[in-house]
Amino acid sequence: VTDTNVMLGRIQPDFFPAIFGPAADQPLDVDAVKTRFQARAQEVADVHGVLKPPEEVADGYRRIAIENMVNAIKKISTQRGYDVSEYTLQCFGGAAGQHACDIADTLGMKQIF
């Protein structure tokens, strides 16, 4: 999901910790991210006959990730009869802020902590 956020400009690579590579000391490789999403866009085009911009492909991955997180919340709440719009979305982890608003919007939640 980090790569999708890089591709969509939602992460500022210069301010992201250097935690990548074999020694976990390399910065985000923006060029590698762009190259992979361009390749993925071409793979999708080869199958479906329509070339979409790499940003659109990245956003598709992001939306799938959001839906997976939303479905996990639904499994423990709305499917058990709870109305999540009456609750506050609790966010945990360093990447929580990147997705909290989309998750809350999808679930109809008005508050995020």
Q: Structure pTM?
A: 0.85
Residue 95, pLDDT above cutoff 90:
no
3-56 pLDDT, tens digit each: 999 999 999 999 989 999 999 999 999 999 999 999 999 999 999 999 999 999
| CA dist., res. 7 & res. 96, Å (int) | 18
b vs e for 2-21, b when ≥16 Cβ sit within 10 Å of the residue's Cβ?
ebbbbbbeebeeeeeeeeee
**57 band by pLDDT with thresholds 50, 70 and 90:** very high
Each domain of the chain, given as residue ranges in start order, spans 2-81
